A and B are shown apart, each in its own frame.
Chain A
Amino acid sequence: MTEIIKPSLEKVIVTENLTKKFGHFTAVDHISFEVNRGEIFGFLGANGAGKTTAMRMLCGLSKPTSGEGTVAGFDIHKQPEMVKKNIGYMSQKFSLYDDLKVWENIELFGGIYGMTDNEIKLKTDELMGRLNFESERDNLVKSLPLGFKQKLAFSVSIFHTPKVVFLDEPTGGVDPITRRKFWEMIYEAAASGITVFVTTHYMDEAEYCDRVSIMVDGRIEALDSPANLKEQYNARNMDGVFQQLARKAKRVDS
């Protein structure tokens, strides 16, 4: 890790009464929050609480029914293309092209985000060296172990140095040691100024975040640093906080 940039007060994500309705069902119900630059923002909630829908709206994949939002300074209603240019996204499946080689995947996604060949080449070399991936460079992605794939998917999602990276349950299915290592990568990214917006089911991971929001039934029930939340709910750990809040949920897991 190089120098650590403390979360500054520059707002990278701002939402105000962001709402998404599917027919009569309100998936996301007037959520308002702000995320600062370089922050690691944990986005928690039970299945069906509206996390994914909220994230899809912020990524420009889904149009909000009402409410405002800006991501990286761009309006999610009016400038979805600009939003997309300035964000990275990593899915829970660590989606990469299995039948392409490691470097081909990097080149493809770099190209999609409009990076020049030269830039891609330089950064690929640097990345391979940093991750100790040199030996895997020409291997097909499908032959990589899951932990490697996860690292690669994350590296690809921040390859074009976006302002924000959205991680959708990025640590599903990997062992605790790999998870721990993965969080080190997240810290590095945040330290370099990339804002990290991460959803997770693991409450121990919530402790690693700078701030955490907990969604229940489409609304944000709590939003603060893990330490403050634990104090407020008089809980020993984040799991305790989550249990208290999630119990209020009326929506049945679908």
Chain B
Amino acid sequence: MILLLMPVIQIILFGFAMSTEVKNTKVVVLANQADEVTHQLIERIDASQYFEIAVIAHNSGDIDNAFRDGTAKLAIIFENGFSKKLTHDGKAHIQLIADATDPNAATSFVFYAGNIINSYRQELMPVQSAAGMIQPEVKMLYNPQMISAYNFVPGVLGMIMLLICAMMTSIAIVREKEMGTMEILLVSPMKPIYTMLSKIAPYFVLSVINFATIMLLSVYVLHVPVSGSFISLVFISLLYIFVSLALGLLISTITSTQLAAMFISGMGLMLPVMLLSGMIFPIENMPGILRFISNFVPARWYIDAVKTIMIKGLSITDVGTDVAVLSVMAVLLVIASVKKFKVRLE
């Protein structure tokens, strides 16, 4: 069954999720003095398959907000008197601001937007002349030097912690089941909950150490700063570790061999984390169904929160959704695994 389904899932995932191409990227536009030209240009951008105008901003504060809560990845700002300057001075400025927490995507955004603007200009003034220059001015927000580590540090954090916690915990517990020592522990006067906790504890410690190592490496070797509050980052990471441990526990209760546990955590966790968490491939580009599924991948929320706190430098209040979703996941997973565990005891 799994063997038959696997190629189908992989083809779908790789075919649809694994696209770095720009598609329907949310854009915020600021044109203080809207006129014919800016209107046409905005329409042109909206009509393209690459972009979608999400917000019409009225001041720079709106743009900040759009970036902050992630409603837009790209901002297009027309200077005042855009069309007048274009026709009279033969030169007008347009500012492109991209969310560069994902540097590759940001580069693409700017490139595609530049192309649209250019082709529009050529239609507007077919004669190749010095006149009618639209000068895009590009700004990479959050990551001006376009360091790719800014993107992969949160991703690696999300992946490693899930691997250590979920995979290792489930394997360790299932190993005891296979060896039969779990039975011995269960007939002992030790409460099952303590047995479980003591199996989990080492992996909790391990994950915390891993978290610290990754943090040290990223700050001192890769020079990715922690722009936001470190406490918030630790808090959200502990929450994520908790979710992962609960996930590992659940896997251990539904499998009875180490191989199965490894397979489920490998295929069932690794693949979604790599493909659907937004670590490599932007979630916005995915078709609706995959975007929907990605909501159930804990790493998606965690990586988003880490990016927001670490790279964008915002506070815990800006990742409220992430915290809420991860908390709900933690509670549900713990309930499910405790229930499953009880059933097994019956």
**Taking beta carbons and an 8 Å cutoff, which residues of A are in contact with B?**
59-63, 81, 84-85, 87, 89, 91-98, 109, 112-114, 166
Closest to B185 in A: A112
What is the CA–CA distance of A152 and B185 in the complex, to the nearest angstrom?
16
Chain A residues contacting B180 (CB-CB under 8 Å) are 91-95
Chain A residues contacting B185 (CB-CB under 8 Å) are 112
Q: At the interface, yes or no: B346 with Cβ under 8 Å from chain A? A: yes
- CB pair A62 B187 closer than 8 Å: no
What is the CA–CA distance of A114 and B188 in the complex, to the nearest angstrom?
10
Chain A residues contacting B119 (CB-CB under 8 Å) are none
- CB pair B345 A62 closer than 8 Å: yes
If A62-B345, A89-B184 touch, whether A95 touches B179 (CB-CB below 8 Å) is yes
- CB pair B186 A61 closer than 8 Å: yes
- CB pair A113 B188 closer than 8 Å: yes
- CB pair B179 A62 closer than 8 Å: no
- CB pair B190 A112 closer than 8 Å: yes
Q: At the interface, yes or no: B61 with Cβ under 8 Å from chain A? A: no
In the complex, how many angstroms separate the beta carbon of A88 from the nearest chain B beta carbon? 8
**Taking beta carbons and an 8 Å cutoff, which residues of B are in contact with A?**
179-181, 183-191, 345-346
In the A-B complex, list the 4 residue pairs whose CB atoms are closest, starting with the nearest.
A95-B180, A93-B180, A89-B187, A85-B189
Chain B residues contacting A96 (CB-CB under 8 Å) are 181
Most chain A CB within a 10 A radius of its CB, from B181, B186, B191: B181
- CB pair A84 B189 closer than 8 Å: yes
Closest to A59 in B: B187
Chain B residues contacting A61 (CB-CB under 8 Å) are 183, 186-187, 345
- CB pair B189 A93 closer than 8 Å: no
In the complex, how many angstroms separate the beta carbon of A216 from the nearest chain B beta carbon? 24
In the complex, how many angstroms separate the beta carbon of A139 from the nearest chain B beta carbon? 18
What is the CA–CA distance of A139 and B144 in the complex, to the nearest angstrom?
60
What is the CA–CA distance of A114 and B191 in the complex, to the nearest angstrom?
13
Chain B residues contacting A95 (CB-CB under 8 Å) are 179-181, 183-184
Chain A residues contacting B188 (CB-CB under 8 Å) are 84, 109, 112-113
- CB pair B187 A60 closer than 8 Å: yes
In the complex, how many angstroms separate the beta carbon of B178 from the nearest chain A beta carbon? 9
Chain B residues contacting A93 (CB-CB under 8 Å) are 179-180
If A61-B345, A95-B179, A98-B179 touch, whether A84 touches B187 (CB-CB below 8 Å) is yes
Chain B residues contacting A112 (CB-CB under 8 Å) are 185, 188-190
- Interface pairs (30), CB distance under 8 Å: A60-B187, A61-B183, A62-B345, A62-B346, A63-B345, A63-B346, A81-B189, A81-B191, A84-B187, A85-B189, A89-B183, A89-B184, A91-B180, A91-B183, A91-B184, A93-B180, A94-B180, A95-B179, A95-B180, A95-B181, A95-B183, A96-B181, A97-B179, A112-B185, A112-B188, A112-B189, A112-B190, A113-B189, A114-B189, A166-B187
